[in-house]
Amino acid sequence: MDFIYDGFIKGIALILSRDPEIAGVVRMSLYVSVFSTLIAVFIGVPLGAVIAVKKFPLKKIVISVINTGMGLPPVVVGLLVMLLLARSGPLAFLGWLYTPAGMVLAQVIIAAPVITALSMAAMQSLDRKFYLQMLTLGAGQWQALWVCLKEVKLSILAAVIAGFGSVISEVGAVMMVGGNIRHQTRVLTTATVMETQMGNFDTAIALGLILLAITFLINIALTFIQQRRAAAE
């Protein structure tokens, strides 16, 4: 048990030392996770809203596919994106393999179904007559959707929290697509795995503590906003 205690002490000391190597890993993690979450929000929220209020053929199948996407194994996503971006793949011209852009693409694929499904569920909790009433009053389709989304904004915020949580802690896809390259594509999760395999438990613990702290702080900030708005209403 002594090595665990020593690891924690050294890990905390490493955090306090503001090691530039760790700082770079933290910046890359935040860049990839926040950017991919924002893209997934711009895709998932409108898509979920449209699916919820519109009637169209095979709607149940589309919903089933989206719900299935919530459980996509990250390593499968990583494999798919890697094959698409590989030299002989259809998206090879982008040159995104082993780059932050490729990692963002993989994480968008992971987060988008989560945000879409939860946004769709939030919109379905709202009476469809409210949407139709907006149309009757002269609002355009997108204006009516915007009003409906504002009515369920707390649930949408919960969807954003869930989407961010699904990517900040993800390791399989970013490892396969990014390659865990030092100073280029190394993030907190992949660095933690690498340091653990190398036996550098103090560094691994430091990275793990930072990852937990970032996840907690961002989630508590979003939750605080959510609960504050709920109390105001």
User: What pTM was computed for the model?
Assistant: 0.87
Those residues with Cβ within 8 angstroms of residue 67's Cβ, 6 or more apart along the chain or in another chain: 113, 117
Residue 172 pLDDT grade (very low, low, confident, very high; cuts 50, 70, 90):
confident
> Which pLDDT score is estimated for 112?
94
**Which amino acid does the sequence have at 41?**
V
Average pLDDT on 197-209 reads 82
> Which pLDDT score is estimated for 157?
85
Render pLDDT for 8-35 as a digit per residue (tens, 0 to 9): 676 677 777 777 888 888 889 999 999 9
DSSP element (H, E) containing 104: helix 100-124
Render pLDDT for 90-108 as a digit per residue (tens, 0 to 9): 999 999 999 999 999 999 9
| SS3 label, residue 184 | coil
Could you tell me where the DSSP H helices lie in 86-99? none
Residue 39 pLDDT grade (very low, low, confident, very high; cuts 50, 70, 90):
very high
> Which pLDDT score is estimated for 32?
93
In the DSSP assignment, the letter for residue 233 is -
Residue ranges of domains in the chain, CATH in brackets: 2-232 (1.10.3720.10)
What integer best gives the mean pLDDT of the chain? 84
Average pLDDT on 189-205 reads 84
Residue, of 229 and 44, whose pLDDT is higher: 44
How many angstroms separate the CA atoms of 80 and 105, rounded? 11
Render pLDDT for 159-171 as a digit per residue (tens, 0 to 9): 888 898 889 888 8
Contact in structure between 188 and 26 (CB atoms under 8 Å)? yes
> Which pLDDT score is estimated for 45?
92
Total count of residues recorded for the chain: 233
